[in-house]
Amino acid sequence: MSRALSESERCAWLRLARTENVGPVTFRELVRRYGSAVEAIAALPELARRGGRSGVRIPSEAEIERELAAGEALGARLVAAGEPAFPAALAATDPPPPVLWLRGNAEALARPAVAVVGARVASAAGQRFARGLAAELGQAGLVVVSGLARGIDAAAHEGALPTGTVAVLAGGVDDVYPTENRGLYARICETGCVVSENEPGRAATARDFPRRNRIISGLARAVVVVEAEMRSGSLITARLAAEQGREVLAVPGSPLDPRAKGANDLIRQGAAICEGADDVLRALEGLGALREPEAAAFGGEPAQAGAEADAALRERLAALLSPTPVARDELVRATGAAAPAVFAALVELALAGRAELLPGGLASTG
Amino acid sequence: MSRALSESERCAWLRLARTENVGPVTFRELVRRYGSAVEAIAALPELARRGGRSGVRIPSEAEIERELAAGEALGARLVAAGEPAFPAALAATDPPPPVLWLRGNAEALARPAVAVVGARVASAAGQRFARGLAAELGQAGLVVVSGLARGIDAAAHEGALPTGTVAVLAGGVDDVYPTENRGLYARICETGCVVSENEPGRAATARDFPRRNRIISGLARAVVVVEAEMRSGSLITARLAAEQGREVLAVPGSPLDPRAKGANDLIRQGAAICEGADDVLRALEGLGALREPEAAAFGGEPAQAGAEADAALRERLAALLSPTPVARDELVRATGAAAPAVFAALVELALAGRAELLPGGLASTG
């Protein structure tokens, strides 16, 4: 829609975003189908009941007012996906987070950004490299995005402090972890920006991190992995970046250092080698304009009626789902039903906690 | 020809190989054109005169006998290109060295080989890696080839001592440099093999090293570069290996270590990442049988007559040559003359020291 929301629209948007079992995919499906968050909220109880559950916990308006007040008390600002102030690169992800809390200098989000991420238990050399790389990227006019973790993340933020850096938190915008990074956090708030999709005051849990990592890569045109062991969060961020069409770079290291294993493995898989800022700048030259978010991603005309899912289809879908994510297109083929009916049924199952709708067109059990 | 030479043929072969201005390319052209080394030697004075020089220094038979006696005194063995005992992988290079002196266990040259090369001033970690890699490659049945230099080369030989390793020297087969590697040299002679294309007793000069490097890569199915600064000999070996159709692997390293720059750069250019022996074995799986040397590479029917070059063509070619190597095919196009006439004229210029015939179909001023 690309217009600022009214106060009441913003309140409904946030209520829907905070509703139990509503993730970014379900959120977007509901807003697409009902044309607005207000209409979607009105439909929720019936949808959840059809999915097989007596109801769904929608936060009260008072709860939402409390979240808005808590954010304001921090001097933070709420931006909804689709609003002009929502970062363009993140808006182009599929789907974007429904809302972001921003603390600090929101202007940092308007400039092109590069993510620098890596190991928490990083070598001194790796931290030195990350700090120097971030400083050079900053001098080249880029904003450096990272996750405020120990090690590489902290070093990257430090290097880019003079030019602007964005920290994406897994908990609320005020959930500083580790505590040793409190000073760094305060300095980022002064010159850069802290970002979270969660409500202020919330402490991060394990399942917040993949969504946080998706925002890190989503804000950035390129992701640089400095040191990463196999199966680390940094590699997940790199995978998400590739899915989002962003450039992935990795800093090579000795095979004798286990922290180099993940980055070397990325290079094997086609990531560009990063030995300095020049490599990042070269990778960005090759990158076309980011795909603009579809105009119809949010709002616009409500989807056609006739997308009512019948109970039999819903139960067949529930039986087809497993913890292993499967493409929704595959579910369409497996059931032989029309795609809109399948999507509608999946949203109902998601609201009932019986399905999880994942980015990339995937679904699994909830 | 793939048959052992008689004593007199061997003596002529070695005389031609040791003749002034006769490199591997000219050697092969002459043997092709005249059918044997004996016939080629008979033609040399007239060819050099045509090239513009009153004569060419051909070693006497007595000098050749002295070289053969010196090699025998060391217990070394001379093998001519085209003989069955000449290493098959090296015979497939274009062109192979005309002769090789072998000291030690020549059986090591019959097994598939991998070269492990790198920096002389290597890090302790790099040397440890090279030693371990060579040991694992040896256990997998491969012979490890290197150049007996300080650092990575020495470590690679050490790791492969129990299973067999080949040292290729730039000087004579007894020219051990650096002297600290004397003990290693002695142990290689016991279980592995030392190889040189030069006469025993000869001390290496700077221009011997590129030809030595071509033998290292030519003996190997794959070349692994462990640590290498930019513009180092190891990178030249890697380039030669690629030209010879061999696999090139490189061990990644931190951008903060200048010794990693060359290997990382190879990876950028498409070299496979080597983090251990498995990577080398995987690269070899993908490698088809080495191209067999052409049956007509040496000996066979003499080339057709009518390949006499006239003086005008020769002088036009001399004028076209510069220190920058140019393709001989390009010289054929530039002169509009027949290819055999151009090649014949180039051989004459080479013998007169006015041209240099290089591997890969190139020519430059001598």
What are the per-10-residue average pLDDT scores of chain B (366 residues)?
Answer: 83 96 92 93 92 89 96 96 94 94 95 96 94 98 97 98 97 95 97 97 93 96 94 91 94 94 96 97 77 48 56 90 90 90 90 89 88
The answer to whether the CB atoms of B254 and A256 lie below 8 A apart is: no
Cis peptide, bond prior to residue B95, ω within 30 of zero: yes
Give residue A231's pLDDT: 86
Written as one string, the DSSP assignment of A336-353 is ---HHHHHHHHHHHHHTT
Q: How far is CA B136 from the centre of its chain?
A: 26
Of A129, A264, A276, the CB nearest to B252: A264
Q: Which of A14-18, A211-215, B49-53, B134-138 has the lowest mean pLDDT?
A: B49-53
Structure tokens at B106: 């020549």
Confidence of residue A288 (pLDDT cuts 50, 70, 90): low
| pLDDT score of A108 | 94
**Average pLDDT for residues A188-204, to the nearest whole number?**
96
- HEC string of chain B equals CCCCCCHHHHHHHHHHHCCCCCCHHHHHHHHHHHCCHHHHHHHHHHHHHHHCCCCCCCCCHHHHHHHHHHHHHCCCEEEECCCCCCCHHHHCCCCCCCEEEEEECHHHHHCCEEEEECCCCCCHHHHHHHHHHHHHHHHCCCEEEECCCCCHHHHHHHHHCCCCEEEECCCCCCCCCCHHHHHHHHHHHHHCEEEECCCCCCCCCCCHHHHHHHHHHHHCCEEEECCCCCCCHHHHHHHHHHHCCCEEEECCCCCCCHHHHHHHHHHHCCCEECCCHHHHHHHHHCCCCCCCCCHHHCCCCCCCCCCCCCHHHHHHHHHHCCCCCEEHHHHHHHHCCCHHHHHHHHHHHHHCCCCEEECCCEEECC
In this prediction the pTM is 0.84
Chain A: nearest CA to B188, how far in angstroms?
27
Q: In angstroms, what separates the C-alpha of B252 from chain A's closest C-alpha?
A: 5
pLDDT of residue B303: 52
For an interface test with B, the pick among A275, A279, A280, A282 (most B C-beta atoms closer than 10 Å) comes out as A275
Whether B129 sits inside 8 A of A251 (CB atoms) is no
Is the pLDDT confidence value at A303 over 80?
no
Contact in structure between B136 and B276 (CB atoms under 8 Å): yes
- For residue A296, what pLDDT band results from cuts at 50, 70 and 90? very low
Which pLDDT score is estimated for B359? 87
A282 part of contact set with chain B, CB < 8 Å: no
Cβ of A252 within 8 Å of Cβ of B261? The answer is no
Q: Choosing among B275, B278, B279, B282, which should be mutated to test the A contact, i.e. which has the most A CBs within 10 A?
A: B275
Confidence check: pLDDT of A307 > 80: no
Residues 106-125 of A with CB under 8 A from B: 125
Task: Report the alpha-carbon distance of residue A139 to residue A361 in Å, rounded.
Answer: 38
Distance from CA of B166 to the nearest CA of A (A): 25
Give the model's pLDDT for residue B53: 87
Give residue B57's identity as a one-letter amino acid code. R
- Does the pLDDT of residue A127 top 70, yes or no? yes
Residues in A closer than 8 angstroms to B261, CB to CB, are 275
Instruction: Give A26-48 pLDDT, tens digit per residue.
Output: 999 999 999 999 999 999 999 99
Please tell me which residue of chain B has the smallest CA distance to A277: B255
CB-facing half-sphere around the CA of B359: CA atoms within 13 A: 19
**Can you tell me the distance from the alpha carbon of A274 to that of A116, in angstroms, rounded to the nearest whole number?**
11
- Regarding predicted confidence, which is higher, B316 or A1? B316
Q: What is the pLDDT of residue B295?
A: 39
Give the closest-approach CA distance of A123 to chain B in angstroms: 11
Comparing A301 with A12, the larger pLDDT belongs to: A12
pLDDT for the residue A360: 84
Sign (positive/negative) of CA torsion A122, B250, B172, B110?
positive
Which of A52-56, A197-201, B184-188, B201-205 is predicted least confidently?
A52-56
Residue in A96, A6, A13 with CA at minimum distance from that of residue A59: A13
CB A148 within 8 A of CB A185: yes
List the single residue in A with minimal CA-CA distance to B268.
Answer: A273
Partners of residue A255 in chain B, C-beta under 8 Å: 129, 251-252, 274-276
- What is the pLDDT confidence band of residue A298, given thresholds at 50, 70 and 90? low
Which among A126, A254, A276 is the nearest to B253, CB-wise? A254
Q: Do B252 and A261 touch (CB under 8 A)?
A: no
